[in-house]
Amino acid sequence: MEGTTAETTSGNEGQDFSGNYIENFQNKGVEEFFAGKYVSWEKKGHAFIIHGQHASLEITIIDQDILKFRHGNDGYFEDDFSYAIDPNYEPPLTEYKFEELKASFVIKTAILRCYVSKESLSVKITNLDGTVIHQDEKGYHWQEHKYHGGTINICTKVLHKGEKFYGLGDKTGKLNLIGTKRQLWGTDCYGYGNDTDPVYKNIPFYLGQHSQVGYGIFMDNTFRSYFDFGKERDSVSSFWAQGGEMRYYFIYGPKLLDVTRKYTQLTGKPQLPPKWALGYHQSKWSYYPESVVRKLAEEFRSRKIPCDVIHLDIDYMDGFRCFTWDKKKFPKPHKMIADLKQDGFKTIVIIDPGIKIDKGYKVYEQGRKGDHFCKRMDGALLKASVWPGPCHFPDFTKKRTRKWWGTLYEGLVNDGVDGVWNDMNEPATFEDGTFPNDVRFDYDGHPCSHRKAHNVYGSLMAQATCEGQQRYLDNKRAFTITRSAYAGVQRYASVWTGDNSASWEQLKLANIQCQRLSASGVSFAGSDVGGFIGSPNGELFTRWIQMAVFHPFFRTHSSGDHGDKEPWKFDQQYVDIVRTFIEMRYRILPYIYTVFWQYSTTGLPMLRSLHMEAHIDPETFYREEEFLLGEHLLICPISEEKATSRLMYLPKGVWYNYWTDQLEEGQREIKVDAPLNQIPLFVRAGSIIPEQPVMQYVGEFVIEELTLNFYKPYIDTTSEIYEDRGDGMEHKDGQYLHKTYVSQQTDDLKWKVKQSCEGQYATEYSNYLGKFHGLDGMPSSILVDGQELILEAESVGQVIQVKLPKNFNEILIN
């Protein structure tokens, strides 16, 4: 047998069961195995199984640019079960060829070539021009650890010159992962720093790029896993897991943006959220009693600071018992929530997985009677402490337990609760950090221990929560937030980056984490604005708000014992600026809602790092702070104290400074003024950016006129606007309006905009206010479907504006 007992090893071979180097074990007790030489092959459906002497390799053609690899130790495969892959994903019909060569096999699609060596079953993937995109170094092998009783399944890959790596969810540190080693094991990491690892989420998907080509690797394995991007050996990248089958997907770009899009389609596109969920959220640990919550709402409205959502943390409960109310603090929750609704506020409550052990507590009694709680190896119920004290915990890997958990939301929904926030679901406990490894799970009919279920626990809780709310919401859309997650969580929930701190370093880190999550398929993400821990000064809070306006999930949250972080808790100069930027969030909400719709229909990420936008521009490879929201808005936060300007990079194209309308050529670094009341913000030339009137909450009043900002194009540019009722399911039956705009400069230097529409939704407004940016003075004519409107146009500063019929077909400006 190849590579027998490894008494002395180097590189990836010398790791113990926890993923650390095993110097303390003198590298003893580790056996390492390889697949060996080719023996035979067979075809099953769209898969080819190539058997080696000691292991088998299965390659499935998912699409012309997506291949799935499975390795079966000793020639046997596990059940091909996954929580990550969208059960509604339907692979397209793909043409391919399988050929046997002298020294290898080759699978050919219209885009890729995949070669499998007969000597070792190692894999090499190229594109059609022969560029090697992804190649095994040692390839797949596995280690048996006698002293730990476990198997580690490993893949080592050739690291190409100049290769960059991105993704892996909410990881801390630099955006480019090159030279680092990362671990996935969801952890309650209160007060984490820039070098903390692991953190909350477990998304084993990364993006790689070299030779101007991008690709992705998704290792669908829920065990504790590791990724090494050239830290141990600078010519090798590797990924491995402490159990389970080595199963991974190769996703070809060539653009990184396309890699994320295809990965998101594979693991599931999100549902549209209620539009109010994209407004501003205010949270704290904790707002209580009821009088404090009512006063909070009054302050927002009296100060004219927009807000849609108030969050209630664990102190709303009776002794931290989930699905209960503390009747002393909240004697009439239904009336309080109804009154808040009258003033435009939605209420979100926190729910943790720990169920207090308390005879007579209804949820506890149901959980015991229904056999819904996790058990230890010897059959005893798991007991561990969290906020209520000793608790039992649901086995969310059991389908009927997820269904039961969903029924528990009936009371909260009937009370008027609009959304649910799942916390402590890594799962976290006070004694040992998480459950003991011997805890047993159903895993939807594939029984396992906590070693396998830990990383997916949070996602399954979020699924049960989302589906439970939806059952009782009477045709409205569910809204769920989760702290811990596995790949595919975007189908059920939004996320935030956990218990951060009030510092400039953490502001920058929050930006990186949200970009990284978006690249990993989870766009509906945000951070605790201002930091959960500690007290920001007014400047830091203001700069954080300015950045978070452009993050999909926009929530201020704080630990009550570290100072208040309501927007009015700072000097008046900061309050006024913060109000203006929260108002800006509501003005551009039609654009943000449209970008979310694009994400939900295509899988394209909402936040896009510069390397996602311009993947062949080497200047973008190490840029961390600039990002795009959708295709047309480019943002660069201020992350240094007292800064009033900063350098930033503009990708290729022509860009308008949002504040001044000054034109800037891209593919260069520029210095941008950024006084305290501005954030560097640019608009792509040719874009159409919709704006609505400022409102205190979504749906406060009927919108009588939508503003369309037209930015003069230099190349043909397409924009979209999506509209529907905002909180219902009617859009699935055609009650939506999708508008497409093509903006172009004609051969005779005229500016032409064409609008096309589909869908049956009737908007409230009857006309647009068109604002035209980039014109050098008043044009000689503005023709709308042949009708001259120049006499009705007016100049407001550098902008020409005119009222437009909402159903126009073509605008021609001369």
As a whole number of angstroms, the distance between CA 236 and CA 250 comes to: 17
Residues 6+ apart with CB under 8 A from 87: none
Tell me the two tokens of residue 806: 């909402």
Q: Are 144 and 164 in contact (CB under 8 A)?
A: no
Is 137 among the catalytic positions?
A: no
H or E segment to which residue 770 belongs: strand 767-773
Q: Are 33 and 17 in contact (CB under 8 A)?
A: no
User: Residue 479's closest CA among 490, 494, 495?
Assistant: 494
Which residue is associated with the tokens 């292991």? 55
As a whole number of angstroms, the distance between CA 86 and CA 599 comes to: 15
Task: Count the neighbouring beta carbons within 10 Å of the beta carbon of residue 560.
Answer: 14
DSSP result, 60-111: EEEETTEEEEEEEETT-------SSS-TT--PPP---EEEE-SSEEEEE-SS
Q: Are 270 and 524 in contact (CB under 8 A)?
A: yes
As a whole number of angstroms, the distance between CA 173 and CA 179 comes to: 11
Is 499 among the catalytic positions?
A: yes
3-state secondary structure of 759: coil
Task: Count the neighbouring beta carbons within 10 Å of the beta carbon of residue 618.
Answer: 11
Among residues 136, 220, 352, 426, the one annotated as catalytic is 426
DSSP result, 326-391: -TTT-S-HHHHHHHHHHTT-EEEEEE-S-EE--TT-HHHHHHHHTT-B-B-TTSPBP-EEETTEEE
Among residues 63, 499, 613, 631, the one annotated as catalytic is 499
Is 423 among the catalytic positions?
A: yes
H or E segment to which residue 469 belongs: helix 450-472
Tell me the two tokens of residue 588: 């551009």
Question: What is the end-to-end Cα distance of the chain in Å, rounded?
Answer: 78
As a whole number of angstroms, the distance between CA 403 and CA 567 comes to: 39
Q: Are 563 and 534 in contact (CB under 8 A)?
A: yes
* Per-residue DSSP letter, 603: -
As a whole number of angstroms, the distance between CA 671 and CA 667 comes to: 13
Among residues 423, 528, 613, 626, the one annotated as catalytic is 423
Question: What's the gap between Cα 227 and its chain centre?
Answer: 19
Amino acid at position 197, single letter: D
Q: Are 476 and 727 in contact (CB under 8 A)?
A: yes
Taking the CA atoms of residue 693, residue 572, residue 635 and residue 189 in that order, the dihedral angle to the nearest 10 degrees is -110
Active site members: 423, 426, 499
